[in-house]
Each structure stands twice: as structure tokens, then as C-alpha cells.
């Protein structure tokens, strides 16, 4: 009986350790350097896209990784990902980027199969 409890305990602990798809294994020093804001030129044709992201399993690994990847895209002014609502909002320059490029970028993050985008809504900023 104790052996079974030990096996279950190990399995649960292992599940918690690998369930979050956080691919960010940088040291604090490296992360601080990369967190510096990039210079963002004013958008010539400002546009806003909001969409649902399915497949996120945690706010710190998944949502923050997606948000950071979107924020680093050329033409993106601002990106926010709300894990609880499964909602992303991206302000971008329509001269440099199209909404389908943003969708492709999100779906390509990680293994390319973890995240699925739906309910894309476009509206001027």
C-alpha cells in the first residue's frame, strides 16, 4: 500500500513539473537584459487584433511566452495575453504586419501544435 502511494506521489509531482510548457530557462541576469523595452516607432496604420488562444496550461510559462514572442515581432506596438480569459490583444502596424502573420506566429510557438488561435477580431486602434 505504501509503495502504491509513493508511486502516485512521484507521478503527481512529475506531472506538475512538466505540465507547464515554459521553455524559458534563462538565468535572471540574462532575462533582465532581454526584458529591456525595444524602441517602438509610431504605427503608420495602427490596427488591433484580439483572439482566443486554446492550449495554454499556465500563466507564467505559456501566456508570458506568447506575449513576449508577440511583443518582439517587428510591427507590434503592444501585446497582452490574459491566461484566465484565454484572450490576446495585439496592437500592430498594418503597414508592417497582417493579422494572419500574428496568428501564424502564435500557432508556431513551442512545438507548433500546442496553441490554436480562434475568434480573431480586427478593429482599428
Give the C-alpha separation, 33 to 17, whole Å.
26
65-76 pLDDT, tens per residue?
A: 999 999 999 999
In Å, the largest CA–CA distance within the chain is: 67
Q: Do β-strands 116-123 and 46-54 pair in parallel, antiparallel, or remain unpaired? A: antiparallel
Confidence of residue 30 (pLDDT cuts 50, 70, 90): very low
The reported pTM is 0.66
Confidence of residue 45 (pLDDT cuts 50, 70, 90): confident
> What confidence score (pLDDT) does residue 33 get?
44
CA dist 1 → 4, 6, 14, 43, 75 (Å): 5, 9, 20, 64, 59
Closest of 99, 94, 115 to residue 44, by C-alpha: 94
> What confidence score (pLDDT) does residue 102 get?
94
Amino acid at each position: 500500500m505504501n509503495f502504491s502511494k509513493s508511486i502516485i506521489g512521484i507521478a503527481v509531482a512529475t506531472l506538475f513539473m512538466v505540465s507547464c510548457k515554459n521553455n524559458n530557462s534563462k538565468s535572471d541576469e540574462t532575462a533582465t537584459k532581454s526584458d529591456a523595452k525595444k524602441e517602438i516607432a509610431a504605427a503608420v496604420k495602427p490596427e488591433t487584433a484580439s483572439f482566443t488562444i486554446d492550449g495554454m496550461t499556465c500563466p507564467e510559462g505559456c501566456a508570458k511566452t506568447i506575449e513576449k514572442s508577440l511583443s518582439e515581432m517587428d510591427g507590434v506596438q503592444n501585446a497582452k495575453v490574459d491566461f484566465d480569459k484565454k484572450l490576446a490583444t495585439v496592437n500592430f502596424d498594418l503597414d508592417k504586419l497582417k493579422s494572419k502573420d500574428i496568428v501564424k506566429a502564435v500557432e508556431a510557438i513551442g512545438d507548433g501544435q500546442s496553441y490554436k488561435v480562434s475568434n480573431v477580431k480586427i478593429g482599428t486602434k
